[in-house]
Structure 1
């Protein structure tokens, strides 16, 4: 079974949206900008590192680009059996599971980012990654510090993130090294996330959640707070509020997914942080990531191959992984290009026709197996236009 995982703050980097410009899924960037009243395209294409690192910017940019990538994957017909997200990524996962509309998710993420940034200004704090100690040893070190420091992220075996006051983190670092930690590295964030320091942000977020239409997820969605799947909207209202001041139990989530039968982990969004954590945590898992359009082909090729250790393959596995749909970029009347018939070979960027004033271009190469819209048909955005096969 396939689970999609979505990254959190820290995966962003300048210019990370550039590979997606011109892809049909890029239209989500404009929709997000309109929903939150901010120029998300600027963050994804032009913002320098110091601007993009600000909490409100990092969260908005990572959320939107992750959903651009998700939309591109969905256009290929690949769907997960469950979803999970690391911290901010939990909101992306809930959109992917249908619990939040895209615009509602973008609005909540914008409010969350603003609230966390304000809480960081109200009470100075920081975070640090402790490498080479197990969970219990880090917890003991935190307890020995005469100050405010807590475990914030259980990321993977031997990788735990702590958060608290700068002075307490310094003391924790010394105790952790005495206990055998290989390194204690500062995390470039503006607050002590997932600790009691975020209480003011939690109260602000709870008000925003109360005004949001949160629906039951259509897929099991694994929560940071307890590493368990939840499909009840009422539970998610409480879980999202609690998440800001509770540790992210990502290692435990990966183990629970493994115990529940998931063998393929696909990181959807910028960076490969979660890919590395899954490789360290889940033995024998197939771990993949999609952050650029070039990764789409690699994803399909990987899914077409049987997992390591599998005996044989089910009929149709390879057919499924090599079939792709070209969808409409907008709503309107479809007019096919000349010669758009079964057997036609297409390359990325080739025009299949128009929908109103919009050209329908293929984002990938393949042979036309069938045309799914007729001349003059009124189609909707993302409606399939043609069916291709890559081999």
Structure 2
């Protein structure tokens, strides 16, 4: 069985999409259509913009969504048996399999990105990637901290990401440094995604999602909040709303996809970040 996986933030770069824009008339039309829907030239930002703009959450999410969905639309024989998306990638996956129309998916990502960017601008949060420690140890350290800090991405058996207040992240990182073999990487994200800090935008996101038409999924989508296959539109919407404050259970999703028969994974992103995580997950099976 073939599984298609769609990335979230972190895989963006200036010039992403240039290859498919130049080589596909369908892609060119879809990029133009996206710009018309948004009311500004997002395509130009992707192809010629600055790193500062591309790393702004609002524009980052739009760029990755546009690239992934448009790439899926021009692929030959795009007929997945199952799909999954990492954070933002979940909306890309839903649009690629027509649970969402291209227009609705783009509108949702645009508003989701704006909601998250507003929270990032208002709260001093961040994210750290932790390597070489068991999930349970990181979970306990976060739980014992008096501030807001939680596991936010279960990326692979070797990597877990935590999100929270900068002060809490500093305290937790000081404890983690005492463990031999552990490694900490500060992510270039000025926000505490998938943490209680994002609760401030949950009702706004809920209002946006409830106004959009979601269709029954033609194949299972393994959603971040529960790592389980979902097809019913009401369940998909509920999980998308919860995703804002819940951890991304990526390694659990991949393991469940493999257990359900996936033998071929196709990464629909501008970089091969998810393929890298996939290899690390497979090494532990």
| TM-score range relative to shorter protein | over 0.9
Instruction: Report 1:259-338 matches (<5 A).
Output: 259-283=259-283
Structure 1 match to 2:208: 208
Q: Distance in 2 between matches of 1:81 and 1:283?
A: 23
Structure 2 match to 1:370: none
> Structure 1: any 5+ residue segments left out of the alignment?
286-391
Give the SS at the match of 1:248.
coil
Alignment check: 8 A CA contact 2:58 2:113 kept: yes
Structure 1, 18-27 or 256-265: larger mean CA deviation: 18-27
Structure 1 match to 2:174: 174
Give the SS at the match of 1:56.
helix
Larger RCO: 1 or 2 (CA < 8 Å, sep 6+): 2
Q: Distance in 1 between matches of 2:17 and 2:55?
A: 15
Alignment check: 8 A CA contact 2:157 2:284 kept: no
Structure 1 match to 2:35: 33
Give the SS at the match of 1:179.
coil
Structure 1 match to 2:82: 82
Higher strand share: 1
Shift of 1:181: 4.8
Structure 2 match to 1:186: 186
Shift of 1:7: 0.4
Higher helix share: 2
CA offset digits 1:210-232 (Å, max 9, x no partner): 11011111111110000001000
1:104 aligns with 2:109: no
Shift of 1:190: 2.1
Instruction: Report 1:124-143 matches (<5 A).
Output: 124-143=124-143
Alignment check: 8 A CA contact 1:258 1:282 kept: no
CA offset digits 1:208-254 (Å, max 9, x no partner): 01110111111111100000010000111111110000000001001
Structure 1 match to 2:147: 147
Shift of 1:284: 9.8
Structure 2 match to 1:116: 116
Alignment check: 8 A CA contact 1:142 1:150 kept: yes
> Structure 2: any 5+ residue segments left out of the alignment?
none
Q: After TM superposition, where is structure 1 displaced by more than 4 Å over at least 4 residues in a row?
A: none
1:46 aligns with 2:52: no
TM-score by length of 2: 0.96
Aligned residues: 283
Q: Distance in 1 between matches of 2:209 and 2:196?
A: 19
Q: Distance in 2 between matches of 1:202 and 1:148?
A: 17
CA offset digits 1:179-228 (Å, max 9, x no partner): 33531111111210000101122111111011101111111111000000
Q: Distance in 2 between matches of 1:180 and 1:242?
A: 35
Query: Computing the radius of gyration over CA atoms, which structure comes out larger, 1 or 2?
Result: 1
Q: Distance in 2 between matches of 1:170 and 1:42?
A: 38
Give the SS at the match of 1:184.
strand
Structure 1, 269-278 or 180-189: larger mean CA deviation: 180-189
Q: Distance in 2 between matches of 1:67 and 1:27?
A: 13
Instruction: Report 1:345-356 matches (<5 A).
Output: none
Shift of 1:43: 2.1
Q: Distance in 2 between matches of 1:183 and 1:103?
A: 41
The 1:197/1:128 distance shift into structure 2, 3 A limit, reads same
Shift of 1:282: 2.2
Shift of 1:38: 2.4
Shift of 1:37: 1.7
Shift of 1:283: 4.5
Q: Distance in 1 between matches of 2:197 and 2:220?
A: 30
TM-score by length of 1: 0.70
